[in-house]
Amino acid sequence: MVDEKFERYVHENLNRFAKDVARLASQPSVSARKEGIEECAILVEKMMREVGIQTRVLRGEEGVAPLLYGEMKGSDSNKTILFYNHYDVQPEEPLDLWKSPPFKPEFREGRLYGRGVSDDKGELVSRLKLLESYLKVNGEPPCNVKFCFEGEEEVGSVHLDDYVSQNQELFRADAVFWEWGGVDEEGRPIVGLGVKGMIYLELAVKSLNIDAHSSNAAALPSAPWRLIRLLNLVKDENERVSVPGWYDKVENLTEEDERVLEEEPFDAESFKRHYGAQSFVGGITASQAKKALARRPTANIAGIWAGYTGPGSKTVLPKEIHCKMDFRLVPNQDPEELLGRFKDFLKEKGFGDVAVEVESMEPAARTSFRDPFAQASIKGGESVFGKKSVVRLSEAGTGPLYVFTQRYKIPAVSIGVSPPDNAIHAPNESIRLDLFEKGILWLAETTRTYLSG
Amino acid sequence: MVDEKFERYVHENLNRFAKDVARLASQPSVSARKEGIEECAILVEKMMREVGIQTRVLRGEEGVAPLLYGEMKGSDSNKTILFYNHYDVQPEEPLDLWKSPPFKPEFREGRLYGRGVSDDKGELVSRLKLLESYLKVNGEPPCNVKFCFEGEEEVGSVHLDDYVSQNQELFRADAVFWEWGGVDEEGRPIVGLGVKGMIYLELAVKSLNIDAHSSNAAALPSAPWRLIRLLNLVKDENERVSVPGWYDKVENLTEEDERVLEEEPFDAESFKRHYGAQSFVGGITASQAKKALARRPTANIAGIWAGYTGPGSKTVLPKEIHCKMDFRLVPNQDPEELLGRFKDFLKEKGFGDVAVEVESMEPAARTSFRDPFAQASIKGGESVFGKKSVVRLSEAGTGPLYVFTQRYKIPAVSIGVSPPDNAIHAPNESIRLDLFEKGILWLAETTRTYLSG
């Protein structure tokens, strides 16, 4: 177990740690709008230096968010652990549903509310505070540590792969603490071993050069109707993507993975209740829903807009319509290949004129359940929380995990400091201070177990 | 022919007349947003009084736009002509496409640009200037005249029927000049004999209480997908509304109406070019497109919105989606009945939970080609423009014509002062000053022909 002095230091400094989360979350950094990114990068680097981390600001072309690299030598110089986090956040809309302003973090009843306090600024700060605690208690971290803090995660980490491949020496490591994690509703630590991949794109159909009076819909083509016909073809009634070949490379799970997935608890009722869903999509069972979250490739409509969207009525035939879609992928599905198949599908179905703008593409990623770092995280969680760890074969979500796990074969686990009801990507995102504290201990205990293993 | 003194008066005062259009169009009056309605009504009444018209402001319940009634006795006291116009306008969006501000009317190259300068403030002012010219030249109008200026036409004239039925004495008339009209691209006067009806509604599908991270789309129901499935069922590939019974009451045209429709010119290429359309909807021919504009019931998507619509990407599963639709109807289709059929259809198809909010309902309306007032308009147009009048059996658009033609059997024709490229309901709406002048003469010549007939 992590030593008592360490534990006490974290406990006694918790409020100060949390204030630093609020400090970082006060700086907007909405990558979708390229808002506050540079300012936030400067602040993160400052906070890294305050801990004593040696930093380097890596820069790409004009407009690309800087990547903050950091390192520090530790007592065990044979092992290097890399921390991956991101300092950008999701857009804060819809604004009217926030109880306190998204970029003015507020403490209420043991929680801190604000955009990014969980995803991923709270997690990022927890890593810095882990380091600070090592230094204050032991004078040094237990092994070499590296930091990779990027600013484009929420827009698909479009440059992370380049940054890492152009600086391979810097990013060499034995294990990676992935950006995010926490406990489930029962307080059980969740160890994440993988993520889904994603293709995020925007479709645009344009049928006229100008908006027309809607009476002309009797004779003129309608962009909205055309997109609706198209979308209706993209996914079938069983939630399967209808593009030929979409599932060709999806492999069946190993028996062990099947067992891990089977053992993962899933509180279907509380999940549905949280979102106010009457049932799962397509009427699938709780067990099917759990498996779908880990294993189902999806085709989601994240946004759609055309014509008049104000109050009352306007009789318009919109000249165009736009639709944002995210397709989640599972291991072995190649985003590049599937994008090509999608475009071919559009052509074949007579929609070759539809504009397809790709926002981001990321393959899925997975670390083996048997990997020592994964096992250390599982044991570390059990030791800190006193409950059996939940092993999550794959998040339903996506992250650029493949940059480390698939490209360089570095094992990575996703654990962290966030509560189950964190409302990430939604209004009133929050963390719980008690879990913020325990999460730091979990990172420390996992590291200890890994190094002693 | 209208006498020379009258013609000269209109010509010499044209610029002042046009400035009064600009004056009225400077006052925003967007009924969809209930913006500036009261202020505009006050201004219209003032302008009526300036001409010498005796006015009455009819009022409904709180929030209902006032209806401006006006009257004046004329030399022939056996006949009463009523002018119907409206002082409300369409919303001005999309703002960025306007070359000059929509509510700061601007004169450029023989035109006046601004929201409502054609539809319908230019037309309304032309009626006032017709009266002014009668008074200045002859001391009185040639027959009794009445005015009915409403403020809710662009939101479906939801209270006009009530206003008129509660004041039947006021609105008794022998003929109605409908709100709007003008010449076609060839400069031929168009005599409108009818309008389509309309059901305007907003559909809302809600599947969750909160927006979710889009990774949950693997398990949670999607409101956007549900609406897309629904919409896909509403209209078939041949542009026919799939709701059972939708076409049951539609009657075939009489032989004479068929001939009138056949004779109506239609410059298909210039129509398509104007809107930048590659072809007509569903690949129909020019002749079919012309017939469709007059006779095809439509189901149009006027607006649709859900989720994230900003720049870049946001991975969200939207909790709800909204869609505004207008269904155009032809004579004999009963909006009330069809709305019921539509709701039954939703239930039958498993979409009984979809919210249907009705914004407005209006039946179609038609005046006979043989009616003396229609014939006077046709001849009047030919006399003023020196070209054969185009008779339009039905506009593709909608108006509350039924309140007069169907309820009280008063013949009505739609003629006016607007150019063919008026961009009504769109950015850069405009009128041409030369046609504004001729339109006033046309109203006068039609009246003269009608009274002498």
Confidence of residue A323 (pLDDT cuts 50, 70, 90): very high
Torsion of CA A372, A376, A377, A380, to 10 degrees: 180
Q: Which of A222, A275, A298 sits opposite B301 (nearest CB)?
A: A222
Confidence of residue B252 (pLDDT cuts 50, 70, 90): very high
In the predicted structure, residue B430 carries a pLDDT above the cut 70 = yes
In the predicted structure, residue A430 carries a pLDDT above the cut 80 = yes
- Residue B275 and residue A426: Cβ atoms within 8 Å? no
Report which of A72, A42, A39 is spatially closest to residue A57, judged by C-alpha positions.
A42
Percent of chain B with pLDDT over 90: 93
Q: Is B43 on the interface with A (CB under 8 A)?
A: no
Report which of A41, A50, A49 is spatially closest to residue A89, judged by C-alpha positions.
A41
Confidence of residue B90 (pLDDT cuts 50, 70, 90): very high
- Residue A225 and residue B301: Cβ atoms within 8 Å? yes
Confidence of residue A1 (pLDDT cuts 50, 70, 90): low
Confidence of residue A245 (pLDDT cuts 50, 70, 90): very high
Residues B399-408 have a mean pLDDT of 92
* ipTM for this model: 0.85
Count chain A–chain B contacts defined by CB atoms under 8 A. Answer: 329
- Residue A221 and residue B289: Cβ atoms within 8 Å? no
What does the pLDDT read at residue B155?
A: 87
Q: Which residue out of A313, A317, A333, A351 would a mutagenesis test of the B interface target, given it has the greatest number of B Cβ atoms within 10 Å?
A: A313
Q: Which of A93, A280, A424 sits opposite B308 (nearest CB)?
A: A93
Residues A83-99 have a mean pLDDT of 95
Q: Strands B365-366 and B194-195: what pairing?
A: antiparallel
Chain B residues whose CB is inside 8 A of the A319 CB are: 275-276
Task: Give the A window 361-380 contacts with B, CB below 8 Å.
Answer: none
Over residues B132-169, the pLDDT tens digits come to 999 999 999 999 999 999 999 998 898 999 999 999 99
> Which domains are delineated in chain B?
4-195+365-452 (3.40.630.10), 197-250+297-362 (3.30.70.360)
Q: Is B330 on the interface with A (CB under 8 A)?
A: no
- Residue A281 and residue B222: Cβ atoms within 8 Å? yes
Residues A371-390 have a mean pLDDT of 97
Chain A residues whose CB is inside 8 A of the B196 CB are: 215
What does the pLDDT read at residue A214?
A: 96
In the predicted structure, residue B189 carries a pLDDT above the cut 90 = yes
Look at phi and psi of residue A276 and say left if phi exceeds 0, alpha if psi is from -120 to 50, else beta: left
Confidence of residue B203 (pLDDT cuts 50, 70, 90): very high
Maximal CA-CA distance, chain B: 78
The tally of CA atoms less than 13 A away on the side-chain side of residue B424 is 24
Chain B residues whose CB is inside 8 A of the A32 CB are: 310-314
Chain B residues whose CB is inside 8 A of the A423 CB are: 210
- Residue B426 and residue A207: Cβ atoms within 8 Å? no
> Which amino acid, one-letter code, is at B449?
T
- Residue B309 and residue A322: Cβ atoms within 8 Å? yes
What does the pLDDT read at residue A453?
A: 81
Over residues B358-367, the pLDDT tens digits come to 999 999 999 9
Q: Which residue out of B152, B315, B428 would a mutagenesis test of the A interface target, given it has the greatest number of A Cβ atoms within 10 Å?
A: B315
Query: By the 8 A CB rule, do A333 and B338 touch?
Result: no
User: Which residue in B has a C-alpha nearest to residue A289's C-alpha?
Assistant: B219
What does the pLDDT read at residue B1?
A: 65
Report DSSP letters for A130-183, one per residue: HHHHHHHHHSS-SEEEEEEEES-GGGT-TTHHHHHHTTTTTT--SEEEES--EE
Over chain A, what is the mean pLDDT? 96
Residue A129 CB contacts under 8 Å (≥ 6 apart), including other chains: A10, A13, A17, A20, A440
In the predicted structure, residue B48 carries a pLDDT above the cut 80 = yes
Going through A282-319 in order, the beta strands assigned E by DSSP cover: 298-307, 316-317
User: Which residue in A has a C-alpha nearest to residue B289's C-alpha?
Assistant: A219
Over residues B313-338, the pLDDT tens digits come to 889 999 999 999 999 999 999 999 99
In the predicted structure, residue A286 carries a pLDDT above the cut 80 = yes
Residue A345 CB contacts under 8 Å (≥ 6 apart), including other chains: A233, A234, A242, A243, A244
Over residues A180-226, the pLDDT tens digits come to 999 998 999 999 999 999 999 999 999 999 999 999 999 999 999 99
Q: Is A394 on the interface with B (CB under 8 A)?
A: no
Q: Is B296 on the interface with A (CB under 8 A)?
A: yes
- B213 min Cα distance to partner chain A (Å): 6
Distance CA(B176)–CA(B166), nearest Å, equals 19
Q: Any idea what the Cα angle at residue A26 is, between residues A25 and A27, rounded to 5°?
A: 90
